[in-house]
Amino acid sequence: MADLSSFFAPHSVAVIGASRTPGKIGYAIVDNIIKSGFAGTIVPINPREQEILGHRCYSRITEAPGPIDMAVISVPAAKAVDAVEDCARAGVKNLVIITAGFKEVGKEGLALEKQIVAICRENNITMLGPNCVGMMDTHTPLNASFAVNFPRRGDIAFISQSGAMLVAILDWSQYTGLGFSKVISLGNKAYLTESHFIDAVAADPNTRVVLCYIEDVTDGKHFLEVARRASRKKPVIILKSGTSQAGAQAASSHTGALAGSDLAYDTAFRQTGIIRAGTMAELFDLAIAFSKQPVPRGKRVAVVTNAGGPGIVTTDRIENQGLEMARFAKETVDFLRQNLPAESNIYNPVDVLGDANVDRYQIALQKTLTDPHVDSAVVLVCPTAVTDASSIARVIIDEHRKVPEKPVFAAYMGGESLAAGAKKLNDAGIPCYTFPETAIDAIKGMSHYRQILQRPASAGEPRPDNLYPDTVKQIFQKARQDNRVVLLGSEAVQVMQAYGIPCAPTELATTSDHAVELAEKMGYPLVMKIASPKILHKTDVGGVKIGLRDAVEVKKAFAEIMENVTRLLPNTEIYGIEIQKMMPRGTEIIIGMIKDVQFGPLIACGLGGIYVNLLKDVSFRLADGLTRAEIEEMLSETKAYTLLRGYRGEKPADIKTIVDMIARTACLVSDFGEISEIDINPVFAYPTGARALDVKITIA
Binding site for ligand COA (CB under 6 A): 16-17, 19-21, 24-26, 45-48, 74-76, 79, 83, 98-101, 131-133, 163
Considering the complex, state which of residue 59 and residue 245 has its C-beta at the smaller distance from ligand COA: 59
Dihedral, 659, 662, 663, 666 alpha carbons, nearest 10: -160
Do residues 364 and 356 lie in contact, with contact meaning Cβ atoms separated by under 8 Å?
A: no
Considering the complex, state which of residue 131 and residue 657 has its C-beta at the smaller distance from ligand COA: 131
**Tally of CB atoms within 10 A around 588:** 19
Radius of gyration of the chain (CA): 32
Considering the complex, state which of residue 15 and residue 120 has its C-beta at the smaller distance from ligand COA: 15
Going along 161-208, which residue ranges are E strands?
179-185
CB burial of residue 345 (10 Å; 0-12, 13-18, 19+): middle
Q: Nearest approach, Cβ of 218 to ligand COA (angstroms)?
A: 17
Q: Nearest approach, Cβ of 48 to ligand COA (angstroms)?
A: 5
Considering the complex, state which of residue 45 and residue 211 has its C-beta at the smaller distance from ligand COA: 45
3-state DSSP assignment of residue 309: helix
Considering the complex, state which of residue 131 and residue 314 has its C-beta at the smaller distance from ligand COA: 131
At 167, give phi and psi (nearest 5°): -70, -35
**Tally of CB atoms within 10 A around 547:** 11
Considering the complex, state which of residue 26 and residue 445 has its C-beta at the smaller distance from ligand COA: 26
Chain centre distance of CA 483:
37
Residues 364, 369, 374, 376: is their CA dihedral positive or negative? positive
d(CA 80, CA 534): 54
Cα 339 to Cα 304, 312, 391, 627, distances in angstroms: 14, 23, 19, 52
Cα 69 to Cα 26, 137, 140, 283, 671, distances in angstroms: 18, 15, 14, 33, 43
3-state DSSP assignment of residue 282: helix
Q: Nearest approach, Cβ of 125 to ligand COA (angstroms)?
A: 17
Q: Nearest approach, Cβ of 42 to ligand COA (angstroms)?
A: 15
Q: Nearest approach, Cβ of 506 to ligand COA (angstroms)?
A: 58
Q: Nearest approach, Cβ of 210 to ligand COA (angstroms)?
A: 21
Which of 592, 693, 685, 590 has the alpha carbon at shortest distance from 646? 685
Q: Nearest approach, Cβ of 211 to ligand COA (angstroms)?
A: 18
**Tally of CB atoms within 10 A around 251:** 15
Cα 468 to Cα 472, 573, 672, distances in angstroms: 7, 30, 12
Q: Nearest approach, Cβ of 193 to ligand COA (angstroms)?
A: 16
3-state DSSP assignment of residue 523: coil
d(CA 144, CA 40): 12
Q: Give the helix, strand, coil percentages of the chain, each rounded to 5.
A: 40, 20, 35
Q: Nearest approach, Cβ of 102 to ligand COA (angstroms)?
A: 9
Considering the complex, state which of residue 187 and residue 431 has its C-beta at the smaller distance from ligand COA: 187
Phi-psi category of 249—alpha, beta or left, where left has phi over 0 and alpha has psi -120 to 50? alpha
Considering the complex, state which of residue 163 and residue 310 has its C-beta at the smaller distance from ligand COA: 163
Q: Nearest approach, Cβ of 40 to ligand COA (angstroms)?
A: 20
Helix (H) or strand (E) holding 135: strand 134-137
d(CA 594, CA 251): 9
Q: Nearest approach, Cβ of 45 to ligand COA (angstroms)?
A: 5
Considering the complex, state which of residue 20 and residue 423 has its C-beta at the smaller distance from ligand COA: 20
Phi-psi category of 321—alpha, beta or left, where left has phi over 0 and alpha has psi -120 to 50? alpha
**Tally of CB atoms within 10 A around 668:** 25
Considering the complex, state which of residue 23 and residue 460 has its C-beta at the smaller distance from ligand COA: 23
Residues 515, 519, 524, 525: is their CA dihedral positive or negative? negative
Considering the complex, state which of residue 104 and residue 513 has its C-beta at the smaller distance from ligand COA: 104
Considering the complex, state which of residue 78 and residue 559 has its C-beta at the smaller distance from ligand COA: 78
Q: Nearest approach, Cβ of 478 to ligand COA (angstroms)?
A: 53
Q: Nearest approach, Cβ of 239 to ligand COA (angstroms)?
A: 17
d(CA 69, CA 67): 6
Half-sphere exposure of 151 (CA within 13 A, CB side): 29
Considering the complex, state which of residue 36 and residue 46 has its C-beta at the smaller distance from ligand COA: 46
Q: Nearest approach, Cβ of 23 to ligand COA (angstroms)?
A: 10
Considering the complex, state which of residue 101 and residue 464 has its C-beta at the smaller distance from ligand COA: 101
Which of 458, 452, 377 has the alpha carbon at shortest distance from 411? 377
d(CA 562, CA 230): 59
Q: Nearest approach, Cβ of 79 to ligand COA (angstroms)?
A: 5
Q: Which residue is nearest to ligand COA (CB)?
A: 163
Considering the complex, state which of residue 46 and residue 94 has its C-beta at the smaller distance from ligand COA: 46
Helix (H) or strand (E) holding 400: helix 389-402
Q: Nearest approach, Cβ of 107 to ligand COA (angstroms)?
A: 18
Q: Nearest approach, Cβ of 135 to ligand COA (angstroms)?
A: 12
Considering the complex, state which of residue 17 and residue 256 has its C-beta at the smaller distance from ligand COA: 17
Task: Kindly write down the DSSP assignment for every residue of 458-496, as one continuous string.
Answer: -TTPPPPS---HHHHHHHHHHHHHTT-SBPPHHHHHHHH
d(CA 466, CA 474): 17
Considering the complex, state which of residue 187 and residue 576 has its C-beta at the smaller distance from ligand COA: 187
